[in-house]
Homo-oligomer: A and B are copies of this chain.
Amino acid sequence: METKKNEKIEKVEHKCTLKDVLDIVGGKWSIPIIYTLSEGTMRFKELERAVHNINTRMLVKELKSLEANRIISRKAYATVPPTVEYTLTLKGEKLRPIIDDLHKWGEEYVDL
């Protein structure tokens, strides 16, 4: 009985982690922003241009969430006007190979 119980707990725990992950990177704009920043540090306006069809409000909201989850870091410079740069953290960079795999899946199977 014991192993059956552990299996169930382990399974529930395993499932939760996927939900936690999707709460962090499952948003409509999360992966496009992470993918774009995996090419290098960017300022807000650069990001806004690079991520197709995102609007300012959505980008502000998504960047806040990604920063809170430590996927990106934010650096402000006291220039006039102030400049802010966004960079992937190590945690964020580790997502790039998974996004690349998603990409390869798309190139191979999207028309299947």
Contacts and interface: CB of A to CB of B under 8 A. Distances in A.
Contacts of A103: 14, 17-18, 21
Interface string A78-96: 0000000000011100110
Contacts of A26: 26, 28, 31
A26 B25 CA distance: 10
Contacts of A102: 18, 21, 25, 98
The number of chain A residues touching the other chain, given as a range, is 35 or more
Contact of A107 (B17, B25, B32, B91): B17
A66 interface: no
A17 B106 contact: yes
Contacts of A91: 109, 112
A47 interface: no
A43 interface: no
A70 B101 contact: no
8 contacts: A18-B103, A18-B106, A21-B106, A25-B102, A26-B26, A91-B109, A94-B105, A95-B105
